[in-house]
Structure 1
Amino acid sequence: MAVTGIGGLFFRSGDPDARAAWYRDHLGIDAGQVSIWQQDAGMTVFAPFPADSDYFAADQSFMLNLRVSELEELIAKLESEGVAVERRPEWEATEYGSFARIHDPEGLPIELWEPPAE
């Protein structure tokens, strides 16, 4: 008997419908209480961080990391839609892939991760 994957991510929201629409419109995630998002199989990192970590904002108890393809194209799309994208040189072409950060309408940090080519 073993856990086979993450079955859902549930979080509180001041405006669940608007927040779900933001995820659908900007990231293509079929979000909402009655929606089911069929994601591609792949790696998932499940990692508690120290309480004093500065990897993401201290006022957030978690950060969502989304595996993506064609990160540069996604960044261009998001920026054209008015979504602020944070990039840092140390996040580019690392041994783990490339990263960028955005925030959803309620401030949740979202790390966009393009794993390295195999």
Structure 2
Amino acid sequence: MPVIGWGGFFFRARDPEGLAAWYREMLGVGGGCGKDEQGQSSDWFWYPEPGPVVFAPFKADSDYFAADKTCMLNFRVRDLDGLLEQLNAAGIKIQTKAEWDTPQTGRFARIHDPEGNPIELWEPPQG
């Protein structure tokens, strides 16, 4: 009996309502974002577009993200440059490195939410 997909991602926050609003406004993530197959939205659900999802435990001493964090969110995006322009205009610090990007894996950028949680933005390769 296999798992068929993500059912949710739950994490603690000092200001859950404020952080939920930030994710909706800055990234279009969370309840009320996207539409289901009938074109409806819901205050409770986020309807992401279908596509690949990476599930990968990392070594405890990995330097891929901050050692004091147990996880890093990774969001798949369609127009990384456009999103980075919007985030920059909103005053959000963005980190990019040429070595992160490859024709095989796509393009990447990193930001942090207002509570310091790391977020990787991923534009998969085209085609």
Shorter-normalised TM-score: what interval?
over 0.9
* Offset from partner CA, 1:53-97 (integer Å, 9 cap, x none): 000000000000000011000000100011111011112344200
1:59 correspondence with 2:90:
no
Q: Which runs of 5+ in 2 are unaligned?
A: 33-42
Distance in 2 separating the partners of 1:93 and 1:49:
20
My pick for the range that moved more, 10-19 or 87-96, is: 87-96
Distance in 2 separating the partners of 1:2 and 1:14:
34
Q: Which has the higher contact order (CA 8 A, sep 6+)?
A: 1
Instruction: Tell me what 1:103 maps to.
Output: 112
Instruction: Tell me what 2:38 maps to.
Output: none
Q: Which runs of 5+ in 1 are unaligned?
A: none
My pick for the range that moved more, 70-79 or 86-95, is: 86-95
Distance in 2 separating the partners of 1:21 and 1:93:
33
TM score, norm. by length of structure 2: 0.88
User: Aligned residue pairs: how many?
Assistant: 117
The answer to whether the 8 Å contact 1:87/1:99 transfers is yes
Instruction: Tell me what 2:44 maps to.
Output: 35
1:12 correspondence with 2:12:
yes
Kindly report the root-mean-square deviation, in angstroms, between the aligned alpha carbons of the 2 structures.
1.3
